[in-house]
Structure 1
């Protein structure tokens, strides 16, 4: 079915490396993207850029390291940048760092799982609840995200998971007290029916359109800060851009510079070790410093670095408007203005 669908799109020139480049979403993944890429290559045997016709492919079919995790990773980077700015935190009534903040995640698919995993394991946030199709789990001391995902994959649901309380009406936990709410699955889960009961001071839209327009207005009047979907879940498409660039350049990221970086690091380490020997017990390198410092950046590290930089720059552009213009009352309006101004400036530059 996928190949036939791809065939019909390709023969109409609706999929092309320089025109329309699809990527996976709900119900599809690396397997389907590999099928589409292969179908395109079969129909365009002389196109050396055929692999660039679609992104989200497996590594052995022209994919890029870090693509599967990218949307969830982008959510993490967005929150990290938000928490770097005291003015942002003040608007949300929060303070400090991500560590210890109580997080509820709605949807433990690819996006929700990776966002929850990275926030808990790397930033010290507490994932106190996870909401899925068959219900929800809650544990105020924090859930083991990988343990919950393994249980769900093994049993087909969340029920009877041993280290948490199962709540059959999972949607009710959207209204539970927490610091950060991450809707990461379906559209419209926060709507006119439940918006007034949402307690989270900060919502980050990891899904597309999880907050309806009416709910958005209610939440803003309550003082809730919403990090909008057009920015928050852009990690996937950003990594897809990196994959597209890799396919067009026909070389993996890091291949040209990694060993040279390692050689320079080894030279510096040799000098440090010489100084360490001379100074004796007065100074020494930590046990794992050498291993971490010497390792050059591979494709995964470069993709993560590029994604982090992209998410930081975008948030900083939105933040500048949000805090400087009294007519810009929220980050969603700021995001629209940043995007529209870029288009307008492009037109002006061209004299249109």
Structure 2
């Protein structure tokens, strides 16, 4: 009898690894490179707490529906839990746990004093009126109130939520506390304690990291071509800043498709999703292509900044970019990562590249606690400093250990989290 064929990357991918399984696998892989107490690793495989709440909502027609909400709190050894709240029909407990683990690593790789949290409600926000969304948010804030707070757990916007959602959440929490508690959430409008520059921070950090990676590879940025999938809150600021740095952005996209100009697009002239929803394909450009074709363009740098799992075993062999900078969360599957490693394609991971969001959230939290707002210039300067510090830490690990950028980022994060656990110990 012939021996059974060994599983391939595509076979592995068909198993549809969950966010929690991915997070645990990444933890195991990083731990294999480090001398870390196995007991600490075992603790980090599990969240400290997961809260499941029922969130009743009176609909506009007078009927009542009850939604399920979650808040996963992974690790707080370095500071309060930090992470987004999403309104999405596919929210699950395991997803929240896995994403909260990623937030632990993201905060640690940036060396900011937060741990990882993530939560959400199982709901399609498109099915809610604005008034219903407000009532649902306020009730969710009340259900989570015993578990959150400015020094305990600090939510932020995520899929299906935004600055206005955070303003409602903060107001509901503050009313019950008897005083304004602006620091209970981040990502708020600046007029109620939000930070200038928070909305563009993830895209800005993507551009900064891409610039540093281009320089590290010895390329001239003015001779570098870039394709950006997603021209929204992450992709648009990243594309425009890279344009300002001198790179040639040849393609951008929205949900309907992509525009392509091999001579370069004027990214400041192309409307973002926020400026005019789904307007990219209406822009006058030489070529219109699909989102899938954008990923396979002959460019130097590819920035997937739309949704997760777009780079897979099915298209990884067709990607022509030599450098991938992850703008979205989890755009590259495990199988695709293995293929890129075999092909020598450099992949800078999301936990470093798009960490500008949580970093400026940290700045917002500091501003709220100190009741003193920062100028946009200061936010940009501080973000640049923090991103370069994190980049250098990961780069040093890449050079010292001869590992991928993803492994290096997780190693930096795990070293910091495990050191904190070892110093604090386990009690009782």
Matches within 5 A, 1:213-224: 213-224=334-345
1:130 is aligned to 2:252: yes
Q: Deviations over 1:205-229 (max 9, x none)?
A: 0100000000000011000000001
Between stretches 142-151 and 55-64, larger displacement belongs to: 142-151
1:332 is aligned to 2:400: no
Pick the aligned partner of 2:199 from 64, 68, 93: 68
How far apart are the structure 1 equivalents of 2:141 and 2:277?
Answer: 37
Classify 1:338/1:152 alpha carbon distance in 2 versus 1 (closer, same or farther; 3 Å): closer
How far apart are the structure 2 equivalents of 1:344 and 1:8?
Answer: 33
Q: CA deviation at 1:34?
A: 1.4
Pick the aligned partner of 1:107 from 215, 230, 235: 230
Matches within 5 A, 1:312-327: 312-326=388-402
Aligned to 2:142: 10
Pick the aligned partner of 1:28 from 133, 136, 161: 161
How far apart are the structure 2 equivalents of 1:53 and 1:73?
Answer: 24
More strand by share: 2
Gaps of 5+ in 1: 90-94, 254-298
Q: Deviations over 1:131-159 (max 9, x none)?
A: 22111100011112232216995473433
Pick the aligned partner of 1:306 from 378, 382, 390: 382
- Indicate conservation of the 8 Å contact 1:103/1:181, yes or no: yes
Between stretches 143-152 and 75-84, larger displacement belongs to: 143-152
- Indicate conservation of the 8 Å contact 2:231/2:252, yes or no: yes
Report the 3-state secondary structure (helix = DSSP H, G, I; strand = E; otherwise coil) of the residue aligned with 1:18: coil
Matches within 5 A, 1:180-219: 180-219=301-340
How far apart are the structure 2 equivalents of 1:23 and 1:152?
Answer: 19
Aligned to 1:279: none
Between stretches 207-216 and 313-322, larger displacement belongs to: 313-322
- Indicate conservation of the 8 Å contact 1:3/1:39, yes or no: no
1:342 is aligned to 2:416: yes
Normalised by the size of structure 2, how large is the TM-score? Answer: 0.65
Aligned to 1:148: 270
How far apart are the structure 2 equivalents of 1:351 and 1:130?
Answer: 49
Report the 3-state secondary structure (helix = DSSP H, G, I; strand = E; otherwise coil) of the residue aligned with 2:228: strand
- Indicate conservation of the 8 Å contact 2:231/2:272, yes or no: no
Gaps of 5+ in 2: 1-132
How far apart are the structure 1 equivalents of 2:297 and 2:263?
Answer: 14
Aligned to 2:64: none
How far apart are the structure 2 equivalents of 1:150 and 1:116?
Answer: 11
Q: CA deviation at 1:7?
A: 2.5
- Indicate conservation of the 8 Å contact 2:153/2:184, yes or no: yes
Report the 3-state secondary structure (helix = DSSP H, G, I; strand = E; otherwise coil) of the residue aligned with 1:148: coil
How far apart are the structure 2 equivalents of 1:32 and 1:146?
Answer: 28
Aligned to 2:357: 236
1:57 is aligned to 2:188: yes
Q: CA deviation at 1:314?
A: 1.1
Classify 1:202/1:66 alpha carbon distance in 2 versus 1 (closer, same or farther; 3 Å): same
How far apart are the structure 1 equivalents of 2:327 and 2:276?
Answer: 25
More helix by share: 1
Q: Over aligned residues, Cα RMSD in angstroms?
A: 1.9
Q: Deviations over 1:240-277 (max 9, x none)?
A: 00001110111123xxxxxxxxxxxxxxxxxxxxxxxx
Q: Deviations over 1:259-299 (max 9, x none)?
A: xxxxxxxxxxxxxxxxxxxxxxxxxxxxxxxxxxxxxxxx2
Aligned to 2:286: 164
Report the 3-state secondary structure (helix = DSSP H, G, I; strand = E; otherwise coil) of the residue aligned with 2:395: helix
Q: CA deviation at 1:60?
A: 0.8
Greater Rg, structure 1 or structure 2? 1
How far apart are the structure 1 equivalents of 2:366 and 2:325?
Answer: 28
May I ask how many residue pairs the two structures share in their alignment?
293
Normalised by the size of structure 1, how large is the TM-score? Answer: 0.78
